[in-house]
Structure 1
Amino acid sequence: MTLADTRTEDRYRTRTPHPLDPVERADPAVWGRVDGPLDPAALAAHDARGYSVFDTLLSPGEVRTYREELSRLADHLRGDERTIVEKSSAEVRSLFEVHKISDLVAELVRDPRVLDRARQVLGSEVYVHQSRVNFMPGFKGKGFYWHSDFETWHAEDGMPAPRAVSMSIALTDNYPFNGGLMVMPGSHRTFVPCVGETPEDHYRASLTEQEIGVPSREHITALAAAHGVDQFTGPAGSALLFDSNLMHGSGNNITPFPRSNVFVVFNSVENPLVEPFAAPAPRPGFIAARQFAPLTR
Structure 2
Amino acid sequence: MLSTLDHYPTRLDRPSAPIPRIEPTVWGEPVHGPLDQAALNSFAEQGYLVRPQTVGEDWLPALSRELERVGADVDDADPRVIREPNGAVRSVFEPHLLSDLIAQVVALDTVLPVARQLLGSDVYIHQARINFMPGFTGTGFYWHSDFETWHAEDGMPAMRAASCSIALTDNFSYNGSLMVMPGSHRTFYPCVGATPENNHSKSLVRQELGVPDRAVLTAAAERFGINQFTGPAGTALWFDCNLMHGSGSNITPFPRSNIFLVFNSVENALTEPFAAQRPRPEFLAARQIRPVGASVPAD
Q: Scaled by the length of structure 2, what TM-score is found?
A: 0.96
Q: Give the match for residue 281 of structure 2.
A: 284
Three-state SS of the structure 1 residue aligned to 2:257 is: strand
Q: Give the match for residue 35 of structure 1.
A: 32
1:55-70 alignment, distance < 5 Å: 55-70=52-67
- Per-residue deviation at 1:218? 1.2
Q: Give the match for residue 77 of structure 1.
A: 74
Three-state SS of the structure 2 residue aligned to 1:61 is: coil
In structure 2, give the amino acid aligned to 1:8: T
- Per-residue deviation at 1:108? 0.9
Which among 197, 202, 205 is matched to residue 200 of structure 1? 197
Structure-1 separation of matches of 2:157 and 2:60: 35
Structure-1 separation of matches of 2:212 and 2:65: 36
After superposition, the C-alpha distances for 1:98-155 in whole angstroms (9 at most, x for unaligned) are 1111111111111121000010000010000000000001001000110000000000
Tell me which stretches of 4 or more aligned residues in structure 1 moved more than 3 Å.
none
Structure-1 separation of matches of 2:3 and 2:208: 26
Three-state SS of the structure 2 residue aligned to 1:226 is: helix
Three-state SS of the structure 2 residue aligned to 1:233 is: coil
- Per-residue deviation at 1:294? 1.3
- Per-residue deviation at 1:292? 1.0
Q: Give the match for residue 243 of structure 1.
A: 240
- Partners of 1:146 and 1:214 within 8 A in 2: yes
Structure-2 separation of matches of 1:15 and 1:255: 36
Q: Give the match for residue 160 of structure 1.
A: 157
Three-state SS of the structure 2 residue aligned to 1:168 is: strand
Which among 157, 174, 178 is matched to residue 175 of structure 2? 178
- Per-residue deviation at 1:78? 4.2
* Runs of 5+ consecutive residues of structure 1 not aligned to the other structure: none
In structure 2, give the amino acid aligned to 1:81: P
Structure-1 separation of matches of 2:106 and 2:287: 17
After superposition, the C-alpha distances for 1:39-76 in whole angstroms (9 at most, x for unaligned) are 00110011000000012111222111111001101101
Q: Give the match for residue 268 of structure 2.
A: 271
In structure 1, give the amino acid aligned to 2:16: L
Structure-2 separation of matches of 1:111 and 1:215: 35
Which among 139, 142, 150 is matched to residue 142 of structure 1? 139
Which among 6, 10, 27 is matched to residue 10 of structure 1? 6
Structure-2 separation of matches of 1:64 and 1:166: 23
- Partners of 1:128 and 1:264 within 8 A in 2: yes
Q: Give the match for residue 129 of structure 1.
A: 126
Structure-2 separation of matches of 1:7 and 1:257: 46
In structure 2, give the amino acid aligned to 1:183: V
Structure-2 separation of matches of 1:256 and 1:26: 43
Q: Give the match for residue 119 of structure 1.
A: 116
Structure-1 separation of matches of 2:246 and 2:149: 14
Structure-2 separation of matches of 1:61 and 1:193: 43
In structure 1, give the amino acid aligned to 2:183: G
Three-state SS of the structure 1 residue aligned to 2:111 is: helix
After superposition, the C-alpha distances for 1:191-244 in whole angstroms (9 at most, x for unaligned) are 000000000010000000011101111111111111100000000011100000
Structure-1 separation of matches of 2:214 and 2:27: 31
Q: Give the match for residue 297 of structure 2.
A: none
Structure-2 separation of matches of 1:214 and 1:244: 14
After superposition, the C-alpha distances for 1:157-196 in whole angstroms (9 at most, x for unaligned) are 0000110000000000000000000000000000000000
Three-state SS of the structure 2 residue aligned to 1:119 is: helix
- Partners of 1:181 and 1:250 within 8 A in 2: yes
Which among 210, 215, 220 is matched to residue 213 of structure 1? 210
- Partners of 1:78 and 1:92 within 8 A in 2: no
In structure 2, give the amino acid aligned to 1:28: P
After superposition, the C-alpha distances for 1:258-295 in whole angstroms (9 at most, x for unaligned) are 00000000000000000000011100001110111211
Which among 16, 20, 28 is matched to residue 24 of structure 1? 20
Structure-2 separation of matches of 1:210 and 1:127: 25
Structure-2 separation of matches of 1:101 and 1:199: 30
